[in-house]
Amino acid sequence: MLRTHTCGELSMQQNGMEVKLCGWIQKSRDLGGMTFIDLRDRYGITQLVFNMDSNAELCNEARKLNREYVVRIAGKVTERSSKNLKIPTGEIEILVEQLEVLNVSETPPFTIEENTDGGDELRMKYRYLDLRRPSVRANLELRHQLASLIRNFLDGEKFIEVETPVLIKSTPEGARDFVVPSRVHNGQFYALPQSPQTFKQLLMVAGFDRYYQIVKCFRDEDLRADRQPEFTQIDCEMSFIEQEDILKTFEGLIKHLFKKVKNMDMPMLPRMTYAHAMKNYGNDKPDTRFEMCIRELKSKDTPLQLPAGKFKLFDEAEYTAGIVATGCATYTRKQLDELTEWVKRPQIGAGGMVYIRYNTDGTIKSSIDKFYTEEELRKAIQNMGAAEGDLVLILSGSESKTQKALSELRLEMGNRMGLRDRNTYSCLWVVDFPLLEWNEESKRFHAMHHPFTSPKPEDVNLLESAPGEVRANAYDLVINGVEIGGGSIRIFDKKLQSKMFEILGFTPEKSMEQFGFLLNAFHYGAPPHGGLAFGFDRLCALFGGSDSIRDFIAFPKNNAARDIMIDAPSFIEKEQLSELGLSITNR
Amino acid sequence: MLRTHTCGELSMQQNGMEVKLCGWIQKSRDLGGMTFIDLRDRYGITQLVFNMDSNAELCNEARKLNREYVVRIAGKVTERSSKNLKIPTGEIEILVEQLEVLNVSETPPFTIEENTDGGDELRMKYRYLDLRRPSVRANLELRHQLASLIRNFLDGEKFIEVETPVLIKSTPEGARDFVVPSRVHNGQFYALPQSPQTFKQLLMVAGFDRYYQIVKCFRDEDLRADRQPEFTQIDCEMSFIEQEDILKTFEGLIKHLFKKVKNMDMPMLPRMTYAHAMKNYGNDKPDTRFEMCIRELKSKDTPLQLPAGKFKLFDEAEYTAGIVATGCATYTRKQLDELTEWVKRPQIGAGGMVYIRYNTDGTIKSSIDKFYTEEELRKAIQNMGAAEGDLVLILSGSESKTQKALSELRLEMGNRMGLRDRNTYSCLWVVDFPLLEWNEESKRFHAMHHPFTSPKPEDVNLLESAPGEVRANAYDLVINGVEIGGGSIRIFDKKLQSKMFEILGFTPEKSMEQFGFLLNAFHYGAPPHGGLAFGFDRLCALFGGSDSIRDFIAFPKNNAARDIMIDAPSFIEKEQLSELGLSITNR
């Protein structure tokens, strides 16, 4: 070892000890007779002292050291005269006796500090320097800690980790598969898995009983903000269980992580049906850190809660609903205009916004007070739960669009009102998802989760008559409005699985060609099984208190799916293309 | 849960308890009044009893159950009259009260038993059924156990697991890269990593200090027996260390695994130089479970140890050497002829074989006794270490070919003499590998390990004058003649790295294009670092006492790199090709 200790472990316990340390020069202060240097490694920072009086030559050497030089020193641990109790090594410093420069460094393109001056692209290009910043390193240490806790928890629950293949078969359903041309079998391709779904089901057929894997998955899609073409899943499956067993097992895992990482005792996770979530939050991944639920003024089930014939917009709308922002009656006209513009942005998509201020003196001020009397409005918003001092914001239009816009507005108001604290965590299961959703483009039903999800037994009889109403044994874990993962109880009966493919528009030939191996496996004693997958990158970001998964990936790609550090993807040599039997038709 | 217990845990402790079990029908015996069924799950086998007298209907139901049906039963734990103490549940049986068939099964294409009647291809096609066999499942359980032990050991040594990207950049050096066409950037490709080498070095530059990862790697090469296009490495790297630190850390890991898995106390691993291994074993991965070292009769350094001018073959050969097979003087002429044919096979490549029998009565019988006197031969083989009763086998020819053939002959004799017991383990480090090896085809030096391996400081001055003689700070871990892994201390100086690329025939432009990100990183304070990678599949096979890595991979590919269960690789849809901007030029 080039060192006896790391830069994070020396304290008064080692006072007087001769030690050797290695690390990077974080910063240097030259105070005339003395030079102080902060030496940094992964474990911390230790202060080095060079004294002009006792060793002028060495001190002059030290003065030549620039930031990010790599050095090795030998010296004696000494008590500091002015201690820094904010860091673990702050009671001591090292009186340096020997100094060896292991490597020099050019001036980095940005400062290696918490508040760096480097922009996103620059830091991505020099990711290996960005990774030196303690907060970025801490993110990856957290990731490691979580992976380790998850593995040990699941090991303890008798799950076994099995590696499933990365070079698999492309499915036309997976139009966003990355494919890999075979050199040995020209013209044929492997695909990279979007998930190990079929393999983990085969492991259940194989009797593995409890499987998990922390595994890379791939999706070649147009990247939305904060998506990555390669991402990591915690993938799990269990046999001889019911939905309740899955929920209990994995809320055990989540509680374990909160306890170990955050020292928080999470209560049992509440369950909310999909229908309830959509009705009250306009969203199947509600942020339940705060209430402010959607209250309907008009819907399929509810006639307009205001007198008819007075305001055309409400009379004609399919759906009208709003939220009550507690204590926000003080919002100014300017604030309300700005909020109206906000909901009208294309990303939110509302046509406009109605506000009703319920002032503390009991009066009402609204953008629709020329249509309704104060009494009519007061009654309506009191029914929505508003009290004096509150502000009611109402959107109107088609149900699905308006729910979506109200959900966004609710979250935005949550932000503005400071109700979405990163250090507060609210977890829940959303259950009873629809099995199928109608796709207007393809004019057929698509699987809401995937084609292997089982319908609820009590809804199976609706498969023919009313497919859209069939509920699935499917569940999502939602934390702070983020979908951390989800899963389902699977179909394990070959007839039901074939039926499902039929509903999804597969011919029997096509379903055999694509999923024959799974359908065949179901001929040989498949057990009842189910499972789920969590997005590990997202889970790390959540525990790290960040919205960006990229901060928790060592070498992420940018929004164009490009690794700008290594410059990939890139062109390859002609010979390589020709060996693969491929040519490029358009660039 | 559909069950209260698994099929592997009930004993007399639960005698009298009402339990529910789930599993597969392993076998069924109908003894008239009673029907006995072995119920199997991942955890074991439990005997079920159905009694015609007490419940004829249920017993008749049970008689209809075929092998591999999936059932759920309820019943009472009872002491067996005839106990089977070979299995943990052998003291009890379950008097079944309720029976539910969860799924039926067709007759499997082969028997789900230790000694199955299924051939390789059939079992690969129905891998999910092969995985039901206890020995195959045990292999994957061993794999999980090893992964878990490795992770916990390395966690304890402050290594942090960091996931490196799977979609990286193709290098022309890596002619065997799998490539992945980008849909977003038509005409450009990612590559799948053959190893995370450059990324782990960047993590050291980033100050991560100790990194590991159990990670999938990919190589699109013509498959030799028992290679897989995707394989798993235990990949590790450390900073501020010397070779000795790496060897100590990882022999700690290996000893830990032998202790935990095999309850074996391994001694400290011996080190052997590459030169010594080649001279004495003809091989850089010697099987040191047995001696039978190669003894030279003639080499570059040794004149012929027999009188000159008597036997043309020996006089003219570059290299002549042999092995002493202790106690094998009894080999018959027929056995020796057969052995001669064996060494002449193209895979071994010897032109012929000379034998000298040193009989127990002190006489000599040899295929060359018409050229040399008995006394001359006796003296020569005594110098080789032979004693009365031994057999000496000698090959002659060019040094490298003959060493290779002798190595094979030695291993073959080891097999025949029963010296290669699967339950005996002999581990060592092979060190001081050459940095470079001359390639006759390309007429230039290639890196023996890879271009990032550092030369020994004392040999750096030979880089210009005698590159072939430069030794590297490189090491391999060898167990029982199998190379389990290897690594090196890396170059961390940008000038030396550029020099290395130059020697390997890269232009400065080419090396910047390919490895610019690493060379750039070396401008910003790279620490001294080094590491290694172990082949995890191979390690599992070794601990499992098998030669075949395929037995330790859940879903392996065959020798044509094909997954015959899912039928991959396969053709993809025209639309997909066109979206990728590709066309197929030859099939």
Residues 6+ apart with CB under 8 A from A455: A435, A463, A470, A471, A472, A473, A496
A432 and A396 together in one domain = no
Chosen domain end from A103, A130, A151: A103
Q: Looking at the 3D structure of chain B, how many domains does it have?
A: 3
Question: Which residues of A fall within a CB distance of 8 Å from B249?
Answer: none
A246 and A201 together in one domain = yes
pLDDT band, residue A285 (cuts 50/70/90): very high
Asked, for residue A47, whether it belongs to a domain, the answer is: yes
Nearest chain B residue (CA) to A44: B207
A238 and A333 together in one domain = no
Quick check: A587 and B183 CB within 8 A?
A: no
| B183–chain A Cβ distance below 8 A for any pair | yes
Asked, for residue B349, whether it belongs to a domain, the answer is: yes
Nearest chain A residue (CA) to B163: A554
Quick check: B42 and A528 CB within 8 A?
A: no
Helix (H, G, I), strand (E, B) or coil at A550: helix
B330 and B410 together in one domain = yes
DSSP A268: P
Mean pLDDT of the region A374-392:
96
Question: Which residues of A fall within a CB distance of 8 Å from B565?
Answer: 517
Nearest chain A residue (CA) to B140: A162
- In the beta sheet, which residues pair with residue A534? A234, A485
Asked, for residue B133, whether it belongs to a domain, the answer is: no
Say yes or no to pLDDT of B11 above 70: yes
Structure tokens at B236: 């590790």
A87 and A143 together in one domain = no
Look up the domain containing B404 and give its range: 290-420
Size of interface A-B (CB pairs under 8 A): 362
Nearest to A568 among B70, B190, B572 (CB): B190
Pairing verdict, β B319-325 and A474-479: unpaired
Chosen domain end from A354, A386, A420: A420
CA distance A264 to chain B (A): 24
Tell me which of A177, A209, A510, A570 to substitute to probe the interface with B (most B C-beta atoms closer than 10 Å).
A570
pLDDT band, residue A71 (cuts 50/70/90): very high
Helix (H, G, I), strand (E, B) or coil at A334: helix
| A170–chain B Cβ distance below 8 A for any pair | yes
Listed residue (A178, A270, A258) closest to A218, CA to CA: A178
**Lowest-confidence region among A129-133, A527-531, A569-573, B424-428:** A569-573
Question: Which residues of B fall within a CB distance of 8 Å from A162?
Answer: 140, 143-144, 554
Cα separation, A451 vs A508, in Å, equals 14
Share of chain A above pLDDT 90, in %: 86
A416 and A357 together in one domain = yes
Share of chain B above pLDDT 70, in %: 99
CA distance A466 to chain B (A): 27
- CB contact residues (below 8 A), chain B span 527-566, against chain A: 527-528, 553-555, 557, 560-563, 565-566
DSSP code string of A489-533: EBP--HHHHHHHHHHTT--HHHHHHHHHHHHHHTTB-PPPEEEEE
Say yes or no to pLDDT of B143 above 90: yes
Listed residue (B585, B525, B553, B474) closest to B130, CA to CA: B553
Say yes or no to pLDDT of A442 above 90: no
Nearest chain B residue (CA) to A568: B169
Please report, in angstroms and rounded to a whole number, the separation of the first and last CA atoms in chain B.
52
A401 and A458 together in one domain = no
Nearest to B525 among A105, A165, A584 (CB): A105
B324 and B390 together in one domain = yes
pLDDT at A516: 87
Q: What is the 3-state secondary structure (H, E, C) of B386-441?
A: CCCCCEEEEEEECHHHHHHHHHHHHHHHHHHCCCCCCCCCCEEEEECCECEEEECC
Q: Does A569 sit behind a cis peptide bond, omega within 30 degrees of 0 on the bond before it? A: yes
pLDDT at B315: 95
pLDDT band, residue B245 (cuts 50/70/90): very high
Q: Are A501 and A172 a contacting pair, CB within 8 Å? A: no
pLDDT band, residue B173 (cuts 50/70/90): low
Phi, psi of A168 (to 5 degrees): -120, -155
Mean pLDDT of the region A208-227:
89
Q: Are B552 and B140 a contacting pair, CB within 8 Å? A: yes
Handedness of CA B162, B165, B166, B168 (dihedral sign): negative
CATH for B407: 3.30.1360.30
pLDDT band, residue B587 (cuts 50/70/90): low
pLDDT at B176: 86
Quick check: A203 and B128 CB within 8 A?
A: yes
Question: Which residues of A fall within a CB distance of 8 Å from B65?
Answer: none
CA distances from A363 to A114, B481, B540 (A): 50, 90, 77
- pLDDT tens column, A74-86: 999 999 999 999 9
B385 and B445 together in one domain = no
B443 and B406 together in one domain = no
Tell me which of A124, A173, A524, A565 to substitute to probe the interface with B (most B C-beta atoms closer than 10 Å).
A524
A143 and A267 together in one domain = yes
Question: Which residues of B fall within a CB distance of 8 Å from A110?
Answer: none
| CB atoms inside a 10 Å sphere around CB A360 | 13
Question: Which residues of B fall within a CB distance of 8 Å from A188?
Answer: 569-571
Mean pLDDT of the region B197-203:
96
Asked, for residue B7, whether it belongs to a domain, the answer is: no
Q: Are A191 and A169 a contacting pair, CB within 8 Å? A: yes
Handedness of CA B508, B512, B513, B518 (dihedral sign): positive
| A20–chain B Cβ distance below 8 A for any pair | no
Quick check: A525 and B555 CB within 8 A?
A: no
Helix (H) or strand (E) holding B21: strand B18-31
CA distance A171 to chain B (A): 8
For the CA atoms of B316, B319, B323, B329, what is the dihedral angle to 10 degrees? 0
Residues 6+ apart with CB under 8 A from B529: B201, B204, B237, B238, B239, B240, B241, B489, B490, B492
pLDDT at A145: 98
pLDDT at A226: 77
- CB contact residues (below 8 A), chain B span 234-263, against chain A: 239-242, 245
A182 and A218 together in one domain = yes
- CB contact residues (below 8 A), chain B span 54-93, against chain A: 68-70, 72
CA distances from A397 to A190, A279, A298, A402, B528 (A): 46, 15, 10, 6, 65
- CB contact residues (below 8 A), chain A span 473-512, against chain B: 492-493
Cα separation, A325 vs A291, in Å, equals 10
Asked, for residue B561, whether it belongs to a domain, the answer is: no
Mean pLDDT of the region B507-518:
87
Q: Are B377 and B322 a contacting pair, CB within 8 Å? A: no
Mean pLDDT of the region B374-398:
97
Quick check: B186 and A587 CB within 8 A?
A: yes
Nearest chain B residue (CA) to A130: B206
Question: Which residues of B fall within a CB distance of 8 Å from A208?
Answer: 42, 131, 137, 140
β-sheet with B160-161: strand ranges across? B160-161, B210-218, B230-239, B529-535, B482-489, B474-479, B427-431, B271-273
Region of A131 on the Ramachandran plot (φ > 0 left; ψ -120 to 50 alpha; else beta): alpha
Mean pLDDT of the region B249-255:
97
Pairing verdict, β B354-358 and B391-397: antiparallel
- pLDDT tens column, A175-198: 689 999 998 898 999 999 999 999
Question: Which contacts (CB < 8 Å, 24+ apart) does range A223-229 have?
Answer: A223/A559, A223/A560, A223/A561, A225/A559, A226/A547, A226/A548, A226/A549, A226/A550, A228/A537, A228/A549, A228/A550, A228/A553, A228/A556, A228/A557, A229/A178, A229/A557, A229/A561, A229/B167
pTM given for the model: 0.95
| A224–chain B Cβ distance below 8 A for any pair | no
Structure tokens at B192: 């799948």
Chosen domain end from A420, A450, A468: A420
Question: Which residues of B fall within a CB distance of 8 Å from A155?
Answer: 148
Say yes or no to pLDDT of B2 above 90: yes
Asked, for residue A281, whether it belongs to a domain, the answer is: no
pLDDT at B116: 87
Say yes or no to pLDDT of B319 above 60: yes
Average predicted confidence (pLDDT) for chain A = 94
Mean pLDDT of the region B213-241:
92
pLDDT band, residue A368 (cuts 50/70/90): very high
CA distance B311 to chain A (A): 49
- In the beta sheet, which residues pair with residue B10? none
Say yes or no to pLDDT of A587 above 70: no
| A573–chain B Cβ distance below 8 A for any pair | yes
| CB atoms inside a 10 Å sphere around CB B365 | 16
pLDDT band, residue A174 (cuts 50/70/90): low
3-state helix, strand, coil in chain B (%, to 5): 30, 25, 45
Handedness of CA A159, A160, A165, A168 (dihedral sign): negative
Mean pLDDT of the region A6-12:
97
Cα separation, B33 vs A262, in Å, equals 61
Nearest chain B residue (CA) to A574: B172
Cα separation, A530 vs A245, in Å, equals 10
Question: Which residues of B fall within a CB distance of 8 Å from A189?
Answer: 569-572
- In the beta sheet, which residues pair with residue B107? none
pLDDT band, residue A114 (cuts 50/70/90): confident
| B331–chain A Cβ distance below 8 A for any pair | no
Tell me which of B45, B236, B572 to substitute to probe the interface with A (most A C-beta atoms closer than 10 Å).
B572
Mean pLDDT of the region B81-109:
96
pLDDT at A47: 98
pLDDT at A513: 84
CATH for A58: 2.40.50.140
Q: Are B111 and B117 a contacting pair, CB within 8 Å? A: yes
Cα separation, A531 vs A203, in Å, equals 12
Quick check: B192 and A180 CB within 8 A?
A: yes
| B312–chain A Cβ distance below 8 A for any pair | no
| B186–chain A Cβ distance below 8 A for any pair | yes
| B22–chain A Cβ distance below 8 A for any pair | yes
CA distance A515 to chain B (A): 8
Asked, for residue A360, whether it belongs to a domain, the answer is: yes
pLDDT at B133: 95
Quick check: A22 and B240 CB within 8 A?
A: yes
pLDDT at B223: 72
pLDDT band, residue A173 (cuts 50/70/90): low
Cα separation, A203 vs A238, in Å, equals 10
Helix A536-543 vs helix A243-262: angle between axes, to the nearest 10 degrees?
40
Cα separation, B213 vs B194, in Å, equals 14
Residue whose token pair is 């294409």:
B109
CATH for A506: 3.30.930.10
- pLDDT tens column, A395-437: 999 999 999 999 999 999 999 999 999 999 999 999 999 999 9
- B/e letters for B52-78, b = 16+ CB within 10 Å, e = fewer, are beebeebbebbeebebbbbbbbbbbbb
Asked, for residue A561, whether it belongs to a domain, the answer is: no
DSSP code string of A435-479: SEEEETTTTEEEESS-TTBPBPGGGTTHHHH-GGG-BBSEEEEEE
